Amino acid sequence: MLDIILSILIILGGFFTLVGSLGLFKLPDFYMRLHGPTKASTLGVGAVLIASAMYFSFKTGEISLHEVLVTLFLFITAPVSAHLMAKAALHIKVRQDKRTLNKSDQ
């Protein structure tokens, strides 16, 4: 039973990370590509970390909680780096896709 839950969590994590990477690869402009990694780093990594915490808690009998910290640090740093990249892109006027609404002054 545990194995099934763990497998589902890891596959789910892998799937969302894959979709994030696919977005990073295929989307047309820098700002849109930025959405890929922020996504992968939340649910994708989140699911894998839950699986890791469960695996080590049940297999070794000791509750393993430092995955919580990984999540916490990731949730603090991922948006900050995304924000910095977006701000830098605006500053050096990276090309914006022609469909973009309310193009920021270019």
Interface with another protein (CB under 8 A): 15-16, 19, 22-23, 26-27, 29, 31-32, 34-36, 38-39, 42-43, 62, 64-66, 68-69, 72, 75-76, 78-80, 82-83, 86-87, 89-90, 97, 99-104
**Least distance to another protein from the beta carbon of 59, Å?**
14
Q: Is there a contact between 49 and 9 (Cβ–Cβ < 8 Å)?
A: no
Considering the complex, state which of residue 4 and residue 87 has its C-beta at the smaller distance from another protein: 87
The three-state secondary structure class of 85 is helix
Distance, CA of 60 to CA of 38 (rounded, Å): 32
Residue type, 71: T
Q: Residue 102's CB: how many other CB atoms inside 10 A? A: 5
Q: How far is the CB of 8 from another protein (least distance, A)?
A: 15
Q: Which is nearer to another protein, 3 or 72 (CB)?
A: 72
CB of 22 to another protein, least distance (A): 6
Query: What is the C-alpha to C-alpha distance for residues 74 and 40, in angstroms, rounded to an integer?
Result: 11
Which CB, 3 or 25, lies closer to another protein?
25
